[in-house]
Amino acid sequence: MEKISLIGPFSPPISGPGVKNNVFLETLKSKGYNVYKINTLKWTTKIVTIIFKIFKSKKIILAVSSNGRYLLLPIMYLFKKLSKNFIYVVVPMGGQLYSELSRMHRFVRFIYKRFLEEADFLFVETKKLRDNLKNKIGIKSTVWLPNFRRNKIIYSKSFNKNDNFRFVFLSRVKPSKGIEIALEAIKQINEKNDELYVKFDIYGPISEWYENKFHDLLKNYDFAKYKNCVESEKVSEVIAKYDAFVFPTYWKGEGFPGVLIDALIANIPIIATKWQYNSEIIRDEENGLIVEVKNVKDLHDKMLELITNKELAEKFKRKNKEYVKQFLADNVVDRLLMYLKAKSWFDK
């Protein structure tokens, strides 16, 4: 049985990278690989242990965010130089790697680029990020490997515009995720349309500094309710109970939001902002709707379009039944393993 060390954060607590690595670990094990988990959460209290575990490993998948990369990439590079049997690939969490490299001093970027180039592959979540890293930074080993979720597709109930229409949001609750934009857009729909009453349920961990303000804010919107957090395994089932998913984010750390895959799996229409890589995942008028960032009017108009156009909503649902398959764990991990086998990872 092949042995691989998977290094990165693992949930709990719930986080995008932590959930992804949990699924990554499960899927590799289901395919017969002996995977050694090295959890980097609270790394400051166990850095010596983590480095020792890396030293004992031979095949590494480094699946970490920016802080983890800054700390561990030099160690990966050093160990590979010391041992010809030590090999690693990098799976950067989020979509910030290109912007991080662009902001670095030229000399620091040169060194950091060497650490990345020493990896057999640099697997990134979006095609735009791949192209930027390949063509603008010059890291030729960059490969597109999309974010992924567990292997399931849920067929949500048929769209019925005669019921009270229900939007859902599920992510970290903070202003930069667009919560306040969505609340105001739905408020305007309800005020301007006597025959419509739109409801809005919100799930997810609330940023600690925002909690009191958020609960005070909700008192002004009788159509909105906060419904607490959801276990990662049940996210798609919860989303599938609603008519549409809204994701008006403008958070600077957004990469390939895994919750968009959860919503695709739930097979409900999606409205997302034209922010970072969202438009690569949700294609406007093809499998969802894209709105301008921080634009209440645009979000209001697109929500109203979806509510009043049953045919459009059903079109998105039909499209996404097939489209979502490329983001299921089995298919994505098979793609990664194909690249590793081409590099003779499992012949060493």
The pLDDT value given to residue 160: 56
Same domain, 201 and 307: yes
Give the pairing of strands 3-8 and 166-170.
Answer: unpaired
Domain of 251 in residue numbering reads as 166-326
Same domain, 123 and 174: no
The pLDDT value given to residue 195: 83
Same domain, 265 and 313: yes
d(CA 142, CA 32): 26
Burial class (CB in 10 A: 0-12, 13-18, 19+), 162: exposed
244 - beta bridge partners? Answer: 167
| H or E stretch covering 329 | helix 329-342
The pLDDT value given to residue 263: 95
* Residues with Cβ within 8 Å of residue 19, at least 6 apart in sequence: 11, 232, 258
Q: Are 258 and 126 in contact (CB under 8 A)?
A: no
The pLDDT value given to residue 155: 64
* 120 in a structural domain: yes
pTM to 2 decimals?
A: 0.89
Same domain, 14 and 66: yes
Q: Are 35 and 29 in contact (CB under 8 A)?
A: yes
The pLDDT value given to residue 74: 96
Same domain, 194 and 301: yes
- Which stretches of the chain drop beneath a pLDDT of 50? none
The pLDDT value given to residue 22: 95
* 82 in a structural domain: yes
d(CA 146, CA 335): 10
Same domain, 301 and 243: yes
The pLDDT value given to residue 284: 96
Q: How many domains does the chain have?
A: 2
Half-sphere exposure of 273 (CA within 13 A, CB side): 24
Same domain, 268 and 317: yes
The pLDDT value given to residue 311: 93
Same domain, 321 and 287: yes
Same domain, 181 and 298: yes
- CATH assignment at residue 65: 3.40.50.2000
The pLDDT value given to residue 16: 84
Same domain, 260 and 342: no
The pLDDT value given to residue 157: 62
| H or E stretch covering 272 | strand 270-273
The pLDDT value given to residue 94: 82
* 159 in a structural domain: no
